Chains A and B, each alone.
Chain A
Amino acid sequence: MHFEYQVYEADFVNAGAASSAIKKTLKQLNINPSIIKRVVVALYEAEVNAIAHAYGGTIFADIESDKITVKVVDTGPGIPDIDWAMQEGNSTASPEVRNMGFGAGMGLPNIKKNVDKLNVTSKVGVGTTVEMEVNFV
């Protein structure tokens, strides 16, 4: 099953809509609730990142019988130092993002904790792609 969702810069009202849709689909497929939680926590953090830090982007999700693969492609400023961004507590979030309850430098580390595979690529001035995979078994 293939799904695509558009997310838009600073659209905090709808932040999480894609993650919510994926969660409902995984529940319908009777995936283990612990695994669903890991998928949606990681996806939600990535979705918020694209809305908070980038100029929006596209979420591609592919659900197979044994795993889900998600790719979040944003157009945005990019991440100059991915290793720095992967460390807990490091953040470039705006006050607006912090007012929404995010921006404490937990996003990428949270994603890493919850997925089986993670690949982050970024080009400054172009954008960032976060690819993640979670196995169902």
Chain B
Amino acid sequence: MRSITTTNTFLSDNPIGTKQNLNNIMTIKEISEVLNAKVLCGADRLDEDYQKAFASDLMSDVLTLGDYNPVILTGLCNMQTIRTCEMGNLDVIILVRKKKASEEMIEMAEDEGMVMMECDYSMFKACGLLFSAGLEPIY
């Protein structure tokens, strides 16, 4: 039997949300227009502002964002996409590369009050367009 014990004091010492009234904010509606994206659920939230975005197909990376709550761009299109965003308090999901969400995914995203949209652009193009439009990276 092997065993290790660690203690940790990881804390988010400078939590910065994304819904701040600063420069470079975009509404979800503007984001969807820039990406020519189809909004699948959460259409009642299109006026909400976002300042930051994060893009990854790796869900463990999505779970490393601490208190940041950026818009998420991902090409991973399955139930774990929704679950991961639920755990990370990430409630705007943009599926890129022509990925199509299943009914089950849309249902779960709706239950969680998320906005989810489908975008036909590649990850590179989608990120480039949003960066040019003013959305900021986490790091």
Contact (A16, B8) CB under 8 Å given A102-B60, A123-B1: no
Residue of A37, A102, A116, A122 touching B80 (CB-CB under 8 A): A102
Q: Residue A31 at the B interface, CB < 8 A?
A: no
CB distance from B8 to the nearest CB of A (A): 6
The residue of chain A having its C-beta at the shortest distance from the C-beta of B58 within the complex is A104
Interface residues of A in 110-125 (CB under 8 A from B): 110, 112-123
A101 with B80: CB separation less than 8 A? yes
- Given A117-B7, A118-B6, A119-B4: A44 and B87 interface contact (C-beta under 8 Å): yes
A63 at the interface (CB under 8 A from B): no
Q: A residues within 8 A CB of B67? A: 34, 37
Contacts A101-B57, A101-B78, A106-B64; A112 near B8 (Cβ below 8 A): yes
Query: Is B10 touching A101 in the complex (CB atoms < 8 A)?
Result: no
Partner of A110, one of B3, B6, B64: B64
Q: Does B86 lie within 8 Å of A112, measured CB to CB?
A: no
The size class of the interface chain A forms with chain B is: 35 or more
A10 to nearest B CB, angstroms?
13
With A37-B88, A101-B78, A112-B6 in contact, do A44 and B58 touch (Cβ < 8 Å)?
no
Residues of chain B within 8 A of A122, CB atoms compared: 1-3
Q: Report if A44-B83 is in contact (Cβ < 8 Å); known contacts: A104-B61, A107-B60, A113-B64.
A: yes
Min CB–CB distance A43 → chain B (angstroms):
8
Counting CB contacts under 8 A, is A20 at the interface? yes
Asked if B59 is at the interface of the complex by the 8 Å CB criterion, the answer is yes
- Whether a CB of chain B sits under 8 angstroms from the CB of A83 is yes
- Expressed in whole angstroms, the minimum distance between the Cβ of B6 and any Cβ of chain A is 5
If the complex has contacts A23-B86, A120-B4, are A104 and B60 also in contact, measured as CB distance less than 8 A?
yes
Flag whether A60 is at the interface (Cβ < 8 A). Answer: no
Chain A residues closer than 8 Å to B6, beta-carbon distance = 112, 117-119
**B 57-96 to A, binary, CB cutoff 8 A, 1 in contact else 0:** 1111111101100000010101111011011110000000
Partner of B3, one of A19, A33, A113, A120: A120
- Assembly CA distance A34 to B78 (angstroms): 26
**CB atoms of B88 and A16 under 8 A apart:** no
Spell out A's residues near B (CB within 8 Å). Answer: 12-13, 15-16, 19-20, 23, 33-34, 37-38, 40-41, 44-45, 48, 79, 81-83, 86, 100-102, 104, 106-107, 110, 112-123
Can you list 15 A-B pairs, Cβ within 8 angstroms, ordered by A? A15-B80, A16-B80, A16-B86, A37-B87, A41-B63, A82-B4, A86-B4, A106-B58, A106-B63, A115-B8, A117-B5, A117-B7, A118-B7, A119-B5, A121-B2
